[in-house]
Structure 1
Amino acid sequence: MLRLWALKQRLPPSQCRTIRTTSSARAATAAAAKETTAPPEWTPNSVRTGLIARKRGMTAMWDDHGARYPVTVLQLENCQVTANITTVRSDGSEYHAVQVAASDRPEKTTTKQMLGHFNKAGVPPKRIVKEFPVTPDAHVPVGTTLSAIHFVPGQYVDVIANSVGKGFQGVMKRWHFKGLRASHGVSVSHRAAGATGAHQDPGRVWPGQKMAGRMGGKRITTQNLAVVRVDSALDLVFVRGCVPGVDDAQVMVRDAKKKMTDAAQHNYAKGLFEKILPKGLDSLPFPAGTKEMAKALPPVIAAPTLRRSPFLPRE
């Protein structure tokens, strides 16, 4: 994480232990200990929760060298934690997840079952509810409002959403077939798929054959997108490149599985501590970036340009 998040907290010196204490004194001591307990810190083996954002569209930005690059703007809409899930599997292992909901909706359009669930969590009704697998140390208190600073400029994220539906398409558009010749010797079948199966043996079309059909509208994960800017005042996250889905679609954003989570655990096990996080990052907001944390940071934080200038000749 950037240096801005490395806020050192000093704990008060421990007081002398008393021999006899009353119930009220014990309660006060427990409350004071709870307040002075240091917050949990991120470790390379930790897996944080993701966020639910809305894709607002694409634009362009310029780095410190003046090079232009495309970005996608993702905005959080009152993203809150509604539950912490712990399930014991049949083999005895435990499954931990954080349930997140976003985008407020009226109570009259919410089912009674979900309305009771939201009331139990102490949050207003939401339009979308998703859960993200986490490690046991990454649970977030129910009702916490997440902020855009959950993601640090300079890190990588994965974006999950339904791709744009393109309807029924032929094999050339759907599977990038070359097609037949458009000149001599070819009848009116320039964009045809050609043969799809054999004659007597096997006498059928094999499952999975690339043919014409409905294209798009599937769950797609775009991996390893760099976070270039975070606006905590408007809850905007700027990621480099394009993400699946139409504008104003709900998308799920999480730490990059390959470049962040798996790479951190792999380098930590090998003792490569300087390669645990991307260059320029020290840690990550843990267990999550909240609205309270955003108040102590600048409203807009941008990632520095780490690559060389594309306008200078190579040596």
Structure 2
Amino acid sequence: MIGLIGKKMGMTRIFTKDGISIPITVIHFNTIRITQIKTILNDGYNAIQMTTGFKKISRMNKAEIGHFKKAKTEGGYILWEYRLKNYNPENFHVGQKINIDIFKQIVKVDVTGISKGKGFSGTVKKWNFKTQDASHGNSLSHRVPGSIGQNQTPGKVFKGKKMAGQLGNQKITIQNLHIIKLDFIKNLLLIKGAVPGYTGSNVIVKPAIKI
């Protein structure tokens, strides 16, 4: 089953009848249109290309203008593609609009987004390494990682060694998030828990694979 492109609006909370607080993330879905249908015969694989939102013609290049004109749809600000194993051409067509109705019978979803970038970070922040002694003779080595290898044998640092480096700004998928509510009037999806990305970032919401 395909997913939808949404925008993370932020987090809030709701209360149950018993007074229990539930943290939720609000995701808004703009008008989503199919711009291209790819097939094994023409493209080597089955996929559906979609766009969301609206973009002025003055902001698009000629390739984008021609692509949306061929699909006979209004230009969107982003293009996304979903690969399909079992493709039925009768279910989709170019120009078709898709909304959150596809989540009516869905209980859990998987949400994919780009996590917040936090720059170059040390091992304590990035990997939760334990810090060394604050005093008792220790100086200048409070947050250093320590030894990163062994001896003359093997004489190298193994691949995958946890060291300082870029933290965040990665594609992350959070699985099995419960759907709390669907607002068909405002095109909002309320999901229990947090999803990756900053407020205003794009996220992909798909029906959960592992249930």
- The reply to whether TM is greater than 0.5 is yes
Q: Deviations over 1:237-266 (max 9, x none)?
A: 11111000011001111111112xxxxxxx
CA distance in 2, matches of 1:98, 1:190: 52
1:73 to 16, 21, 26: 26
Question: Displacement of 1:197 after TM fit?
Answer: 2.2
Alignment coverage as a number of residue pairs: 208
Does 2:113 correspond to 1:175? no
CA distance in 2, matches of 1:107, 1:160: 29
TM superposition score normalised by structure 1: 0.62
Question: Displacement of 1:153 after TM fit?
Answer: 6.8
Q: Deviations over 1:253-288 (max 9, x none)?
A: 1111112xxxxxxxxxxxxxxxxxxxxxxxxxxxxx
CA distance in 2, matches of 1:80, 1:150: 14
CA distance in 2, matches of 1:98, 1:155: 24
CA distance in 2, matches of 1:192, 1:200: 22
> In structure 1, the residue corresponding to 2:155 is in which secondary structure?
coil
Partner AA of 1:209 in structure 2: K
Does 2:17 correspond to 1:52? no
TM superposition score normalised by structure 2: 0.91
Question: Displacement of 1:202 after TM fit?
Answer: 2.9
CA distance in 1, matches of 2:41, 2:156: 45
Does 2:159 correspond to 1:225? no
Q: Which residue of 1 aligns with 2:116?
A: 164
CA distance in 2, matches of 1:85, 1:66: 49
Larger deviation, residues 217-226 vs 188-197: 188-197
Larger proportion of strand: 2
What runs of 5+ residues in structure 1 fail to find an aligned partner?
1-47, 260-315
CA distance in 1, matches of 2:40, 2:127: 41
Partner AA of 2:161 in structure 1: Q
Does 2:100 correspond to 1:155? no
> In structure 2, the residue corresponding to 1:258 is in which secondary structure?
coil
> In structure 1, the residue corresponding to 2:40 is in which secondary structure?
strand
Q: Which residue of 2 aligns with 1:62?
A: 15
- RCO higher in 1 or 2 (8 Å CA, sep ≥ 6)? 2
Larger deviation, residues 118-127 vs 241-250: 118-127
Question: Displacement of 1:183 after TM fit?
Answer: 3.3
Q: Which residue of 1 aligns with 2:79?
A: 129
CA distance in 2, matches of 1:212, 1:245: 22
Q: Which residue of 2 aligns with 1:117?
A: 67
> In structure 1, the residue corresponding to 2:46 is in which secondary structure?
strand
CA distance in 1, matches of 2:149, 2:92: 54
Q: How is 1:7-46 mapped onto 2 (pairs within 5 angstroms)?
A: none
Question: Displacement of 1:199 after TM fit?
Answer: 3.9
CA distance in 1, matches of 2:142, 2:41: 57
Partner AA of 2:162 in structure 1: K
CA distance in 1, matches of 2:108, 2:78: 24
Contact map agreement 1:153 1:227 (CA 8 A) in 2:
no
What runs of 5+ residues in structure 2 fail to find an aligned partner?
none
Q: How is 1:209-288 mapped onto 2 (pairs within 5 angstroms)?
A: 209-259=161-211
